[in-house]
Amino acid sequence: MKRPFLKEEHEMFRKSLRQFLEKEAAPYLEEWEAKKQIPRSFWKKVGEQGFLCPQVDEKYGGLHADFGYAVVLAEEFDRISVGMVGFSLHNDIVIPYIESLGTEAQKQCWLSGAMSGELISAIAMTEPGVGSDLAAVQTTAIKDGDHYIVNGEKTFITNGFSADIVVTVCRTDPKSDPLYRGLSLLVIEADSPGFTKGKKLNKLGQHANDTCELIFEDTRVPAENLLGEEGKGFYYLMDHLQQERLLVAIQSMASAELMLEETIEYVKQRSAFGRQISQFQNTQFKLAELQTELEIGRVFIDRLIEEHMKEEEIVTQVSMAKWWTTELAKKVASECMQLHGGYGYMEEYEIARRYRDVAVSSIYAGSNEIMKTIIAKNMNL
Ligand SMILES: Cc1cc2nc3c(=O)[nH]c(=O)nc-3n(C[C@H](O)[C@H](O)[C@H](O)COP(=O)(O)OP(=O)(O)OC[C@H]3O[C@@H](n4cnc5c(N)ncnc54)[C@H](O)[C@@H]3O)c2cc1C
Q: 244-302: per-residue pLDDT in tens?
A: 999 999 999 999 999 999 999 999 999 999 999 999 999 999 999 999 999 999 999 99
What is the C-alpha separation between 304 and 249, in angstroms, rounded?
10
Q: Is the pLDDT of residue 199 over 80?
A: yes
Residues 371 and 132 sit within 8 Å (Cβ to Cβ)? no
Q: Which of 219, 205, 210, 216 is nearest to 255 (CA)?
A: 205
User: Has this prediction a pTM greater than 0.95?
Assistant: yes
Rounded CA-CA distance 26/42 in Å is: 12
Residue 304: predicted pLDDT: 98
CA of 97 to the centre of ligand 1 (A): 21
Q: What angle do CA 378, 232, 197 make, to 5 degrees?
A: 105
**What whole-number distance in Å separates Cα of residue 87 and Cα of residue 77?**
8
**What are the tens digits of pLDDT across the range 72-83?**
999 999 999 999
- Parallel/antiparallel/unpaired status of strands 165-171 and 121-124: parallel
Please name the amino acid found at residue 125. M
CA–centroid distance, residue 39 to ligand 1 (Å):
27
Q: By the 8 A CB rule, do 307 and 235 touch?
A: no
Number of neighbouring beta carbons within 10 Å of residue 233: 31
**120 has a pLDDT exceeding 80:** yes
CA-proximal residue: ligand 1, atom 37 (nearest): 132
* Cβ-proximal residues to 19 (8 Å cutoff; 6+ apart), any chain: none
Q: Can you tell me which atom of ligand 1 is nearest the CA of 154?
A: 11
Which entry of 99, 213, 244, 257 is annotated as an active-site residue? 244
The answer to whether residues 52 and 114 touch, using CB atoms and an 8 Å cutoff, is yes
Q: Pairing mode, if any, of strands 165-171 and 183-189?
A: antiparallel
Q: Whole-angstrom Cα distance, residue 268 to residue 263?
A: 9
> Can you give the pLDDT at residue 73?
98
DSSP state, 130? B
- The best mutation among 367, 372, 373 to test binding of ligand 1, ranked by most ligand atoms within 8 Å of the C-beta, falls on 367
Is the confidence at residue 1, as pLDDT, over 90? Answer: no
Q: Is the CB of 356 under 6 A from ligand 1?
A: no
Q: Using the CB atoms, write b or e for 93-132: b if 16+ within 10 Å.
A: bbbbbbbebbeeebbebbbbbbbbbebbbbbbbbbeebbe
Which percentage of the chain shows pLDDT scores above 70? 100
Distance 335 CA to ligand 1 centre (A): 26
Give per-residue pLDDT as tens, 223-241: 999 999 999 999 999 999 9
121-131 per-position pLDDT tens digit: 999 999 999 99
